[in-house]
Every structure is written in C-alpha cells, then in structure tokens.
C-alpha cells in the first residue's frame, strides 16, 4: 500500500513542535515557523536556525557551541538543529503538495 506521506508529515510536525523535548515546545514551534520563512527567534538560536534553514553548509562550530551553551545540553541543541531542519523541509513539502494538487 502507498505510504500516506501527508499523515507522516503531520506526525513529524506534531512531534517536533510538541512531544517530548528538553527545550520548550513554544521555542520549537517558533523555530519551525522561522525555518519556514517566519519571524526571527531570539539569539543565539536565530543565527543557527537561519543557517540550517537557508544554507546549512555555512553552519559554524561557534553557532552550534553558542546554542549548546545557552540551551544547556547537547540534547537541547540537537532539538534546535533538528527542528530547524524539519521546519525548512515541511515548507518544501507543503509547497510541493500544493503544486501537485492544483487542477491540471
């Protein structure tokens, strides 16, 4: 049977923006939105989230280290990176499905 990609995407969005994390769910929701073109988040997350979303090859040791220090643990910094990546990806998923859904 074909995979229900919309359901999988919705489940991933729900986990990244809610679920169980060391960071606050509100911060992760703001990061999901930021990575999809929404308003900036607070420093030091902003620089890392913007680079992960727009040009991940530009991320630096210092950007990750600053978020690691501010967030207080590797797991919290990991959540910031993953959530930014997921936000940028789900923007693309939504755009792609919208383009595919348009009447022919």
Choice between 43 and 97, CB closer to another protein:
97
Nearest distance in Å: CB 42, another protein: 18
**d(C-alpha 11, C-alpha 74), whole Å:** 24
The Cβ of residue 93 has, within 10 Å, a number of other Cβ atoms equal to: 16
Please give the torsion angle defined by the CA atoms of residues 22, 5, 32 and 66, in that order, rounded to the nearest 10 degrees.
Answer: 60
Residues at the interface with another protein (CB under 8 A): 1-3, 5, 8-9, 11-12, 14-16, 19-21, 48, 51-53, 56-57, 59, 61, 64-65, 68, 73-75, 77-79, 81-82, 84-86, 88-93, 95-100, 102-104
Please give the torsion angle defined by the CA atoms of residues 1, 10, 97 and 55, in that order, rounded to the nearest 10 degrees.
Answer: -120
Nearest distance in Å: CB 34, another protein: 14
**d(C-alpha 79, C-alpha 23), whole Å:** 7
Nearest distance in Å: CB 65, another protein: 8
Choice between 19 and 43, CB closer to another protein:
19
Nearest distance in Å: CB 15, another protein: 4
């Amino acid at each position: 049977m074909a995979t229900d990609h919309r359901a999988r995407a919705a489940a991933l969005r729900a986990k990244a923006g809610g679920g169980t994390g060391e960071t606050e769910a509100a911060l992760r929701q703001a990061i999901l939105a930021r990575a999809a073109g929404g308003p900036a988040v607070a420093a030091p997350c902003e620089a890392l989230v913007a680079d992960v979303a727009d040009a991940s090859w530009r991320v630096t040791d210092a950007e990750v280290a600053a978020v690691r220090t501010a967030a207080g643990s590797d797991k919290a910094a990991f959540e910031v990176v993953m959530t930014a990546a997921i936000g940028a990806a789900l923007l693309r998923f939504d755009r792609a499905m919208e383009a595919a859904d348009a009447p022919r």
